[in-house]
A and B are shown apart, each in its own frame.
Chain A
């Protein structure tokens, strides 16, 4: 803050106002006073103080009310309540309602100066934190829009024209030409998927998901995921089996949970040989729902095992490591952890892998 910090003192006792002004005189502050709550609130609106001292006991509207109204106006304004003797409990109440601190009457000049400095510092930090958060948000949005507009849109247009060209030529193409088309389409498609994954990581704040949590029957997102992956599984002649007993609901977001299973089962498909089976099972274990995804794939070595959920990490178990971007499992972990759940994996090279997702049972049942 380059300009002088602004302080407002609201108290019905003139002697308190006077002594406060006296104490802070010569400091780098702009100070206003108000003799009651309503006047004080008016000053808050025009003056936009950094720090407000407010007496809890005043005629007219109470200090508590003033505190609440100030927070409605701007919750970053730091409020310190002034309390008389033996009203520690009301000071505690005020702090519960958002006051930063309290100042018991009578106070010494040093006490007052100290609490003023701390209050101003608090306000500075709050504003800094908000500015930083905004900046981060802006960067995230800008980056996402660059990725989507400058990379994704042109690539989509390329792919769309390739689709059109192939469609027009489909009857006159020979096998070799068809193969080349397939190769180009696959590589561009992979690139688009990669951009989508990046965008997901950049744009979606998994912790915000929590705001929309509802009781979800876990079988539902698993079914959605398996349906989504059916074409991919069919291409590799892989069978996905799903068995679930009747299960209690979990608290969560059905769409992101289905993304978890798309990523985990999709990963299993990627590393499974043709003709193999992937077994998905869900069961209740104490107060958790445990979902397992077991494949007959190439497996994961002991040294790779701890890193599979790390992001940008891709299995490299020699044999034809399939194309992927190593981000799906990391996204799955993030989502599961936002659900207060956990992911884990058991595997050995050549023995296949089993991925586990455990989610806490919802205390609320499905309406």
Chain B
């Protein structure tokens, strides 16, 4: 079955670059260009993974979404790939290094821009990890 992904990011050009890769990878991708629409989409539809930008709007509004997800009984099981352009937010991390911000049960962080294969691998790996966790419960 086609996996459904939601991407929340306020930069339409960046979104286009990510979505094209995920489309070619056989995913179905919905996009929300602000946190509000993103939350609405999350409530309305079921997704297999969320791609989340951190710096949106006036500040780190993406973190707010991640925090909301964490408190949500159902959504907290959804894997999240956090994408950020500000590597300073993630201390002195280096591009491509796997990082586990642990906002929700299954998440990882990548720095923008993301190489196509890295993106697809991470998305697939996160979906699989989340599925394995659900089965184990």
A256 sits at the interface (CB 8 A): yes
Cβ < 8 Å to B, chain A residues 236-276: 255-256, 258-259, 262
Q: How many residues of A contact B (CB 8 A)?
A: 31
Interface positions, chain A 143-164, Cβ under 8 Å from B, are: 144, 148, 152-154, 156-164
- Is A156 a contact of B94 with CB atoms below 8 Å? no
B11 & A163 in contact (Cβ 8 Å cutoff): no
Question: For residues 32 through 88 of chain B, which have their beta carbon under 8 Å from a beta carbon of chain A?
Answer: 55, 85-88
How many angstroms between the C-alpha atoms of A228 and B98 in the bound complex? Answer: 10
Q: What is the CA–CA distance of A167 and B117 in the complex, to the nearest angstrom?
A: 9
Residue total for B at the interface (Cβ-Cβ under 8 A): 25
CB–CB A160/B14 < 8 A: yes
Specify which chain B residues have a CB less than 8 angstroms from the CB of A159 in the assembled complex: 17, 113
The answer, yes or no, to whether B91 is at the interface (CB within 8 Å) is yes
Contacts A156-B85, A163-B113, A163-B116 given; does A168 touch B17 at CB 8 Å:
no
Q: Is the CB of A167 within 8 A of B116?
A: yes
Looking across the interface, which residue of chain A has its beta carbon closest to that of B115? A163
Complex contact A156–B86 (CB within 8 A)? no
Report whether over half of chain B's contact residues are helix, strand or loop; otherwise say mixed.
loop
Residue contact B113 to A228, C-beta cutoff 8 Å: no
Total cross-chain contacts (CB, 8 A): 75
Please tell me if A1 contacts chain B, counting CB pairs below 8 Å. Answer: no
Q: Is the interface of A mostly helix, strand, loop or mixed?
A: helix
Instruction: Check if A163 sits within 8 Å of B87, measured CB to CB.
Output: no
- Asked if B29 is an interface residue, CB under 8 A from chain A, the answer is no
Do A152 and B88 have beta carbons less than 8 Å apart?
no
**Contact A164 B116, CB 8 Å, known A153-B11, A153-B14, A228-B94:** yes
- Flag whether B24 is at the interface (Cβ < 8 A): yes
Known A148-B86, A200-B88: A156·B21 in contact at CB below 8 Å: no
Task: Tell me the bound Cα distance from A192 to B114 in angstroms.
Answer: 12
Whether the Cβ atoms of A156 and B113 lie closer than 8 Å is: yes
Q: Does B112 contact A (CB under 8 A)?
A: yes
Chain B 82-111 interface mask (CB, 8 Å, partner A; 1/0): 000111100111101100000000000000
Contact of A196 with B by CB under 8 A: yes
Whether, in the assembled complex, A281 has its beta carbon less than 8 Å from a beta carbon of chain B, the answer is no
A158 to B112, CA, bound (A): 11
Assess whether A164 is in contact with B94, with CB atoms less than 8 Å apart. no
List chain A positions with a Cβ less than 8 A from chain B: 144, 148, 152-154, 156-168, 192, 196, 199-200, 203-204, 228, 231, 255-256, 258-259, 262
What is B's interface to A at a CB cutoff of 8 Å? 11, 13-14, 16-18, 20-21, 24, 55, 85-88, 91-94, 96-97, 112-116
The 8 residue pairs across chains A and B that have the minimum distance between CB atoms: A160-B17, A164-B20, A157-B13, A161-B17, A159-B113, A167-B116, A160-B113, A157-B14
List 10 interface pairs A-B (beta carbons < 8 Å), by A numbering.
A144-B88, A148-B88, A152-B85, A160-B17, A161-B20, A163-B114, A163-B115, A199-B86, A200-B92, A231-B96
